[in-house]
Structure 1
Amino acid sequence: MNYEQAIHYIHDTYKFGSKYGLENIRLLLEGIDNPQDELRFIHIAGTNGKGSTASFIAYALMEAGYKVGTYFSPYLERFNERIQINCMPIGDEDLARHTGIVKKSVDAMLEKGCDHPTEFEIVTSVGFDYFHAQQVDIVVLEVGLGGRLDSTNVIKSPLASVIVPLALDHVQYLGDTIDKIAYEKAGIIKEGCPVVTTVQEEDALEVIIAKADAVGAPYHYSDYRTVKNTQLSRSATTFTYKDVDFKIRLLGEHQIQNACTAFDTLSILNEGKQIQIDVKNILDGFDKTRWMGRVEQVSDNPVVIIDAAHNLHGVQSLVKAIETYQPEGSRIAIFGMMADKAVSDVVGEIIGKFEKIYLVEPDNPRAMKTSELKSEIEKAGFGGEIVELDRVSDAVEVIKSYKNKEVNIYCFGSLYYIGEVRKVLTSEAF
C-alpha cells in the first residue's frame, strides 16, 4: 500500500458513518496487539481549546526532553497533521505502512462478520500503532467527539484526563444541555487518574466532580481568572499566573485559559512524579507553541486572519479577539459553516462586526448552502453587502482583490475550508 492508496482507503471508510461506541475499536486494536496498552497518555476532551491545550502540553514536554506523540482531529491542510511526533506530521511512507497493518485487522474483522470500522476508528488505530512503533514517551491525545464513547477512550489509565471549556455543540450526538454534554466529556475520567478541568458552567462542573468522586480520580480545578498583569498584542500575550510570568504566541484572550490548563496539568504530573519537568521547560515550550488556524495572520497584504471558530463559543472568542486587536477600521468576513451547527446563534454574534460578508460552501456533505446561510444573516438584520461565492477557491481571488487596501479580512466558520485558503496564502505563489 502506498500513500495515495492509504489516503483513499481511509477516506473511503467515511461512507460507514460515525458509530458511537467502543466495541469495534477494541476488536480492531486486538488485531494489531493493542499497541495503546503500552503507551502513556494525556487525554483531552472539551468543546473548544483541545488542540491549543494539547499543543502547549506537547511543546513543553519536548522542552523537557520527551518524545511526544500528538493526535488531533480534524486536519487543516494535510491529512498527516492528525498524527504527529515532536510536532512533525507522520511521513507518507509511515502512514502507508501503518494503514496497511490496520487494514489487515479490518479484513479479519469483516471475515468474522463484524461491522466495518469507521474512518475515525481506523485513523485512531493507525496513530496508536505508529506511536508504539516509534516508542514515544507520552501521547497527548485529543478526543474526537464527546469522550465516553469516543474511540480514543479505549485507553485504560491515562496520566491525566483534561477537560477544556464545554459548550453546546454536536447536540444531536451529545445532548442538548450542558450537563448532558458534560456527562459525555467526563466519560474520559478513569479510576485513580488525576482529572484537570478549567472553568466551566456550574452544571457542567457538578457533573465532572461527581464523576471524579465516583471513580476515585483526584480532581484539580484550573482557574485562569486569577491571572494578573495581562498584556495582549498582535505578537504575543503576557500574563502572570500562580506567580509565574508567561509569554505565549497564540493570540486571543481565550488562549490564556488554555495555557493555564496546560500549566496546571504539567505541574500536577510533575508533583506526582509521573513526569519530570521544570518551570523553565514549560515557559520555553509555551513561548514556542504554534497552532495553525487559531487567530492566525497568514497574509500582510491584505491582512488576513484565519480561525477555526465553528460554533457559538468559538465565534464569541474570535469576536473578542477581533475587538482587541482591531478595535477600529474596515473588516470583511469570509464565512462558511456546517448545516448541523447552531447557525443562527453564530450569525447573531457577527452582526455589526463586518461591513461585508463573503459566503463559501465548504467541501463537505454537511456544509450549509450559501443561499441558506445568506438567508440566516439577512434574517438577523445584517445591513451590509453579502456575496455568495461559487467555490472555496474564489475566496482566494477575493482576498487578492483587496491587495494594497486598508482592510482586515477574517476567514472562519469551518476548518473544512480555511485550510484550503491557508495553503494558498502561505505559499510562495501568493
Structure 2
Amino acid sequence: MKDKETSGISERGHQVNLQEGSSLEPEYEEAQEYLVNLTKFGMNFGLGRIEELLKRVGNPEEHLKIIHIGGTNGKGSTSMMIAEILEDAGYRVGVFTSPHLHDYRERITINGAMIPKRDVIKLIQMLRPHLEDLVQQGVEHPTEFEVNTAMAIKYFANQKVDFVVLEVGLGGAIDSTNVVKPLISVITNVGMDHMNYLGETYEEIAQVKAGIIKTGATTVTAAHRPEALNIIREKAKAVGSPLWVVGEDVHWETRWSGELEQEFDLVGLRGVYNKLRLRLVGEHQIVNAATAVTVCEVLKSEYGVKLERRNVYEGLYKTLWPGRLELLSLKPKILIDGAHNVDGAEALAKALDIFQRRRLVLCMGMLGDKEREKVVNLLAPLADEVIVTKPNSPRAGDWQYLARLIEEKGKPVTIIEEPREAMREAFARLAMEDMLCVTGSLYMIADARQTLLELLQQGR
C-alpha cells in the first residue's frame, strides 16, 4: 500500500500550558485518581448535594453570566460555536462540557485552553475537606459529575470570565448544572437516549430537558418534533421565559455541502447572514450553527453584548469539535463520529452521502443500553464490511450482540475486542479509494482517534 496521507486540515484542538513542569505530575496524578475514584458514587440525581457544596465555596455560580445548554444531541458542537463567536468578539469564555476524549481537562476550558494542572490540584485540595464534611453531616457524597461541575464553576469564577457556556450532563431538571440561573437556556433537540433515566416517550424526555427553562432567562430551542416542542412551549409560557424556535423564528438554506466544509444562508432574529461557512459537516451542524447564532443575537439584543456580524462569520468558521464527524484523512478517507443513538446515526448516515469512496469499512462499538437494532438498521446497509469492537466502559454489556445484528443484514463482520487493535486491522484493510468510518460510542472514539492519528503519522 502507498503511504496514506493526512488531509492537512488545521485543528485548533485544546491548548496546553507548556510551562507546567513535571514537578506537578505526582500531585496531579493523585488529583486525577481522586476524581476517578468518585465514579463509585455512580449517577445520583438531585440538586441538594451540589447546592450545599457550592454554598460552602461561596456560591460562585451567582457571579457568572451563563448560557446553559441541554438537549439530546449537538450540545457540544453548539457550545463550541457559541464560545467561538464570543471569543472572536474579544470575550473570555469558559466552557464546561463532557465527556472528554483524551484528557480530563478538556472538560474545563477558557478560550480553548484547558484548565492548568496546578488549578486542578488546588481545586481538589479546596473541595476535598468540604466533601468529607458533608458526608460527616449525613449528606450523601456528591458524585463525580457534581464535583466536576463545582470545580468548573469555581474555576471560571476565580478567573473572572466574561461568559460561561455550561453543558448539561444528562437530562436537565435534576442535573447538577441546573443549580445556575442562566441568561439563556438552550435545548438543542429532543431525541431517544438514556430512556432508563429520562423516560420512554418524547413528551417524557422533553419534560426533563425543559427543566432548565427558568424565569428571567430566554429560551432557545431547535427541537422540531411537535410532541417535544409543545412541552417546551408550555414550560416557557408557565415560567414567563421568552422562547425562540430555530426552524420557525430562524430559517436557513444550504448552499452547498462538501467533504471538508459547507455553506449556508441564515435568516436570523436580527438580520440575514449570507454565505456562512462551517468546517463541521452534516446538515445537523447547520441546525447547531443556527442555534448558536440565535443565542448570540439574543445576547446582543437583550443583554447589550457587543457583537459584530464578522464575529459570527469568523467564529463559526473557526469551530472544530474533535470526534464529531471529524475527517482525519482524505487518502484514504477516515471519518470518526461519536454517534451513539438513533438521531446521531441518522445524521451520520446523511453525512456519509457527501463522501465519495470505493468501499466503506465501518468500525462500530456500542454500549449495551443503546438502541443498537435501530442504529444498525441505519448504518449497516451503507457498509461493505464491518468490524465490531468493545467500548471501554462497564456499560458495554453483551457488546458482541452488535455483530449478530449486523450479520443478519448480510454484511461480513469481524470481531476484535480491543479498540486499538480493531483500528490497526481496519486501517490495514483500506485502499486509497476506500473510506473508514468509526462510530458508535464516545467511549471508543478516544482510543480510535489516537491510534488512527498515530498510524497516519507513521504512513502505514
Aligned to 2:371: 342
Aligned to 2:52, the other structure's residue is in SS state helix
**Structure 1 counterpart of 2:414, which letter?**
V
**Structure 2 counterpart of 1:389, which letter?**
I
Aligned to 1:252: 282
Q: 2:403 aligns with which of 341, 366, 374?
A: 374
Mapping 1:3-402, distance limit 5 Å: 3-156=28-181, 158-223=182-247, 226-242=251-267, 243-245=272-274, 246-326=276-356, 329-378=358-407, 381-402=408-429
Equivalent residues of 1:247, 1:283 under 8 A apart: yes
Specify every segment of 5 or more residues in structure 2 that has no aligned partner in the other structure, as ranges: 1-25
Is 1:426 aligned to residue 453 of structure 2? Answer: yes
Determine the C-alpha separation between the residues in 2 that align with 1:22 and 1:422: 35
CA RMSD of aligned residues (A): 1.5
Pairwise CA distance, 1:329: 2.2
Pairwise CA distance, 1:398: 1.2
CA deviations over 1:82-105 (Å, ceiling 9, x no partner)? 111001211222112112212121
Determine the C-alpha separation between the residues in 1 that align with 2:156 and 2:410: 51
Equivalent residues of 2:213, 2:235 under 8 A apart: yes
Equivalent residues of 1:361, 1:368 under 8 A apart: no
Aligned to 1:43, the other structure's residue is in SS state strand
Equivalent residues of 1:159, 1:274 under 8 A apart: no
Determine the C-alpha separation between the residues in 1 that align with 2:310 and 2:246: 20
Pairwise CA distance, 1:403: 5.2
Determine the C-alpha separation between the residues in 2 that align with 1:49 and 1:7: 28
Assess, with a 3 A threshold, how the Cα gap between structure 1 residues 229 and 201 changes in structure 2: closer, same or farther: closer
Specify every segment of 5 or more residues in structure 1 that has no aligned partner in the other structure, as ranges: none
**Paired-residue identity, %:** 37
Determine the C-alpha separation between the residues in 2 that align with 1:207 and 1:256: 24
Determine the C-alpha separation between the residues in 2 that align with 1:377 and 1:229: 33
Determine the C-alpha separation between the residues in 2 that align with 1:300 and 1:369: 34
Pairwise CA distance, 1:50: 0.4
Determine the C-alpha separation between the residues in 1 that align with 2:450 and 2:233: 42
Q: Which segment drifts farther, 244-253 or 292-301?
A: 292-301
Determine the C-alpha separation between the residues in 2 that align with 1:387 and 1:169: 27
Pairwise CA distance, 1:211: 0.5
TM-score (norm 2): 0.90
Determine the C-alpha separation between the residues in 2 that align with 1:361 and 1:301: 27
Q: Which segment drifts farther, 210-219 or 91-100?
A: 91-100
Pairwise CA distance, 1:226: 3.2
Equivalent residues of 1:251, 1:294 under 8 A apart: no
Q: Which segment drifts farther, 224-233 or 136-145?
A: 224-233
Q: How many residues align?
A: 426
Aligned to 2:354, the other structure's residue is in SS state helix
Determine the C-alpha separation between the residues in 2 that align with 1:358 and 1:369: 16
Equivalent residues of 2:259, 2:354 under 8 A apart: no
